Amino acid sequence: MVTKKSCPECQGTKLSVDKKRGEIVCNSCGFVMDENMIDQGQEWREFSGEGQNERRSGAPSSYAKHDMGTGTEVGTSSEVYKLSVKDRRKYLRLRKWHNRSSTSLERNLKYALADLKRISSLLNIPPTIEEEAARIYRMAVEKGLVRGRSMECVVVGAIYIASRQFNLPRSLNEVCQLTNNNKRDVGKTYRFIARELGIRMAPSGAGTYIPKFANKLGFSAETQTQAQKILEIAQTSELTSGRGPTGLAAAALYVASLITGEKRTQREIADVVGVTEVTIRNRYKEMIEKLNLDPLIEEAKNKREAERLAMGQVDEPEEELRIQE
């Protein structure tokens, strides 16, 4: 390896680094410019006597663990039965005092992060978002924002904030239903935490919910693409401001299903999305009127009927799923 330094003896610039010896040597005159350098690379050595195993010298630190993964654990419960009676008492005594020596902050993190892991598993949260939620909760605890509030509400709020930051489609209704928490309390808690910690969250777009809802409803890729196009047109026409993203996503999927012919009723979509039929109906009316989608729906319907007639299929006429205005 050649460096850009120059030799103080011969002013040569051709230098080599010997990582094994930790030295920088001039190739021209052999002068040792530096020695006993610290190796900044990974540690692959192991002293267990089982041979060399390519792994790091320890587990990586993690915010999702109450001790960041660097704490000391006094044995495990299964090791008790391998000891004699005298050593067993000593072991239990050491473990008891080790647990008592932990601070209130460590105990809070121990229970809260275990709860966070359980809720993340229920919501199918990826490890990256779980790690970010644990970091947010730690910051909230260190600033004293948890005092006087439900620990579970703060945990759920941290998960919701992390999901919003990573654009993961998780609505507040879904998070609260799976964790049996009050939506109002969780909403107040996550807004308070975000405000106090200075976390800025961009408004969640309706487009992020389309793949998730379309997958649950069994829609094809064509319907998903059509729904995304409808949302883009609605956003350009400033039709999305002040409306809930889930309601807009549900209405866009409903209109797209009418265009592609994949029949779904408003009730079916409302049950999956978690909004009322009235919300879907109102968003649908706005899209039909302001985006002038009626000709597009009729054209797609006539095209499907012409294709069936050309193939010699005699089917019942399509059931009118749209509301009669």
pLDDT tens digits for range 90-111: 888 887 877 776 777 788 888 8
Whether residue 38 has pLDDT greater than 60: yes
pLDDT band at 130 (very low <50, low <70, confident <90, very high): very high
Question: Which of 20-34, 122-136, 206-220 is least confident?
Answer: 20-34
Distance CA 156, CA 159 (A): 5
Cβ(26)–Cβ(7) below 8 Å: yes
pLDDT computed for residue 135 by the predictor: 92
Ordered structural domains, the chain, with CATH? 1-38 (2.20.25.10), 104-197 (1.10.472.10), 206-310 (1.10.472.10)
Higher-pLDDT residue of 73 and 321 is 73
User: Can you name the residues that pair with 94 across neighbouring β-strands?
Assistant: none
CB atoms under 10 Å from CB of 235, counted, come to 15
DSSP state of 214: H
Distance CA 30, CA 10 (A): 10
pLDDT band at 194 (very low <50, low <70, confident <90, very high): very high
Distance CA 245, CA 208 (A): 9
Cβ(190)–Cβ(161) below 8 Å: yes
Torsion of the alpha carbons at 245, 248, 254 and 256, rounded to the nearest 10? -100
Checking phi first, is residue 180 left (phi over 0); if not, alpha (psi -120 to 50) or beta?
A: left
pLDDT band at 314 (very low <50, low <70, confident <90, very high): low
Distance CA 202, CA 244 (A): 14
Residue with tokens 């050491």: 94
pLDDT computed for residue 193 by the predictor: 92
The model carries a pTM of 0.66
Angle at 100 between CA 96 and CA 103, to 5 degrees: 150
Distance CA 165, CA 281 (A): 30
pLDDT computed for residue 320 by the predictor: 46
- Length of the chain counted residue by residue: 325
pLDDT band at 325 (very low <50, low <70, confident <90, very high): very low
Distance CA 140, CA 116 (A): 14
pLDDT tens sequence across 254-265:
989 888 888 888
